[in-house]
Amino acid sequence: MINKIFFGRSLSGLTIPILFTGAPNSNMKKRFLIGSIFFALVSIPVWMVFFYRADISGISPSLFGTFPDIQASAPQGKLPLSYPEEFELSIFAEGLKGPRVIAFDPAGTMLVSLPPAGKIVALPDADGNGRADRIVEVVSGLNRPHGIAFSPDGGKRLYVAESNRVTAYDYDSEKFRAGSPEKLVDLPGGGNHTSRSILLLPPPNEETMLISVGSTCNSCEEEDWRRAKILVMRKGGAKLDTFASGLRNAVFMTVHPESKEIWATEMGRDFLGDDLPPDEINRIEPGNDYGWPYCYGDNIPDNEFLGDTDYSEACRGKTPALFNLQAHSAPLGLSFFPSRGWPSKYRNNLLVAYHGSWNRSKPTGYKVVLFRFDEQGRFQQQEDFISGWLRNEYSSIGRPVDIKIRETGHIFISDDKAGVIYRLALKKNPV
């Protein structure tokens, strides 16, 4: 005789009954075991289908599809992407394993982090033809290296942020070698978010480093005070402090060319549906709390996380998003057009790479978006700048990550799925 029936709820809301019996004999135990196995064999596939359709049916483009042969995809080697006609798009480097952060050494040579390979590589273009001549290993054997920066003393030191630490190296810009490693600070490793990004503040604080550390989870209260924050390490290293908090995964940061403010992208939590919560762009100010895990966007309480808790005060004093973006777009790299070297219509505007969704029934993102501002810095509009990576609901040919805009009229974009670096060049005589 069945005494109790308990109900368990999955991530997608599917209720699964669990039966318990009282004073069972051996035959009852066998029947119960057989019944449980049968129930599991039937219910688990049903649950998986339900979960897939409700929460992650849009994951396919992040997993499937490959970058096509350039010559076969379009005439004259034109890449199968859409972008403004006043630009020319080409491949600067290819054959890279998961390229992420782009940085330039003092001589102008590109360095790129390859987290899956545990390496930082240099991509010299000695003949200046707009394509890397070779791939040079700068340092290897690292723990998912991500952030890269050069010291303000002419770039004699290379800083690398791994999942669990920040290390400084002596850097040889002629041989593209890093040596004499010196650990500056330990970071919490592992967790759901392992990418650590670094940013040196503009003068007069150029020896102050910001370090972004994501959360261990989708939505939780962290036990380690260093998690879900942007940390600050001042000159001399070793000691970390909180710069800004309540940031679930603010992977990339940049400096506004005029105001010198810090801007960062932020990826919101999952499993609240296709359109919640919004991803964000935030203006990062010291001491501010941006709400995670209690609220999101325009200080909207996360009722699912708060549960029965009185959430009337949960978002008081928190900082709302500067811009709300389409949920699950996964904004990563962001870069402002500099004041010099670009037509006035682009100066001080912002490019943001939308890496692309997985926790969505229909995929979104997989593009680079332009945010336009007027001369006073007031937001005007946003528009797709580069698109076409998303081929259909089931496949994509790439996922943009980092963006670096140079005063030379060139834009470089990393793609960790296609394994390439794109080079977008402003034509000498734009149409």
Model confidence over 286-307: pLDDT tens digits? 999 999 999 999 999 999 999 8
With 80 as the cut, is the pLDDT of residue 145 above it?
A: yes
Domain borders along the chain are 2-58, 72-426
Task: Confirm if 228 and 251 have CB atoms less than 8 A apart.
Answer: no
With 60 as the cut, is the pLDDT of residue 6 above it?
A: no
Largest CA-CA distance found in the chain, in angstroms, rounded: 87
Rounded CA-CA distance 111/134 in Å is: 12
Please compute the mean of the pLDDT values over residues 398-425 and round it to a whole number: 97
CA distances from 217 to 45, 197, 266 (A): 25, 18, 14
- Band (pLDDT 50/70/90 cuts) for residue 389 is very high
With 90 as the cut, is the pLDDT of residue 8 above it?
A: no
- 66: number of Cβ within 10 Å: 12
Model confidence over 330-388: pLDDT tens digits? 999 999 999 899 999 999 999 999 999 998 999 999 999 999 999 999 999 999 999 99
Q: Which residues contact 77 (CB under 8 A, 6 or more apart)?
A: 70, 71, 90
236 burial type by CB count under 10 A (0-12 exposed, 13-18 middle, 19+ buried): exposed
* Assigned CATH topology for domain 72-426: Neuraminidase (2.120.10)
Question: Of 162, 400, 169, 136, whose CA–CA distance to 265 is shortest?
Answer: 400
Task: Confirm if 155 and 106 have CB atoms less than 8 A apart.
Answer: yes
Q: Which residues pair with 242 in a beta bridge?
A: 231
With 70 as the cut, is the pLDDT of residue 10 above it?
A: no
Model confidence over 148-189: pLDDT tens digits? 999 998 899 999 999 999 999 999 999 999 999 999 999 999
With 90 as the cut, is the pLDDT of residue 400 above it?
A: yes
With 70 as the cut, is the pLDDT of residue 41 above it?
A: no
CA distances from 56 to 60, 61, 155, 293, 328 (A): 8, 11, 43, 21, 11
Q: Is 165 helix (H, G, I), strand (E, B) or coil?
A: strand
If you average pLDDT over every residue of the chain, what do you get? 88
- Band (pLDDT 50/70/90 cuts) for residue 21 is very low
The structure tokens listed for 325 are 């973006």
Model confidence over 306-317: pLDDT tens digits? 987 777 789 999
Model confidence over 368-384: pLDDT tens digits? 999 999 999 999 999 99
Task: Confirm if 28 and 21 have CB atoms less than 8 A apart.
Answer: yes
Residue that the structure tokens 């390439």 belong to = 420
Which is more confidently placed, 235 or 143?
A: 143
- Band (pLDDT 50/70/90 cuts) for residue 42 is low
β-pairing verdict for 165-172 and 157-161: antiparallel
- Band (pLDDT 50/70/90 cuts) for residue 15 is very low
- Band (pLDDT 50/70/90 cuts) for residue 20 is very low
Question: Of 218, 216, 241, whose CA–CA distance to 227 is shortest?
Answer: 216
With 60 as the cut, is the pLDDT of residue 36 above it?
A: yes
Q: Which residues contact 300 (CB under 8 A, 6 or more apart)?
A: 277, 315
Task: Confirm if 423 and 412 have CB atoms less than 8 A apart.
Answer: yes
